[in-house]
Structure 1
């Protein structure tokens, strides 16, 4: 499968980067919310226009709903805990917990295989 891992750094409270997903460039802000002690992700287009704000990064979760605007990446974001069962703490993102993206073609193949 064409799955890519987001370039996240453990213990860095604010991270901003752009990546190409399914042939389009998207921007991301990943921020540590020190009041509630969890990570939040914001999604932008290539020109840094906000597409979706305040997506909580929690263990073993998909970060997109099944119905999404055409401006959003068509594949799937997934939070994966590599060890342990606790929610991602400040030093965990990019280390014990990773955020991956599987492209639309591979997700379609996975869904076709599940329904067969």
Structure 2
């Protein structure tokens, strides 16, 4: 699927959890963390799309995506030719997209689900 199609999908929270082992691993790599864990969103479509990531909480309370922490069942393609962009470029684009989404609350709720929860 193209990046444009991907960014138009409606995701719901599949699961989210803290992981003390990930937190320890990140600290061992020199990353200051207070908490760390994993989060996964998915679509409700018959052919579900999912995106998962490892995250950590910085000492100042902000949240960040852990290095190498994106996983998905999607390979992005070019809009004109349909050629796949490869794993590295797909991860790079998805990380950039996810960094701009409001996933940071502890429940890792996706944007549309957050709107429903606050209504």
More helix by share: 2
- Between Structure 1 and Structure 2, the one with more strand by share is 1
TM-score by length of 1: 0.35
TM-score (norm 2): 0.34
Larger Rg: 2
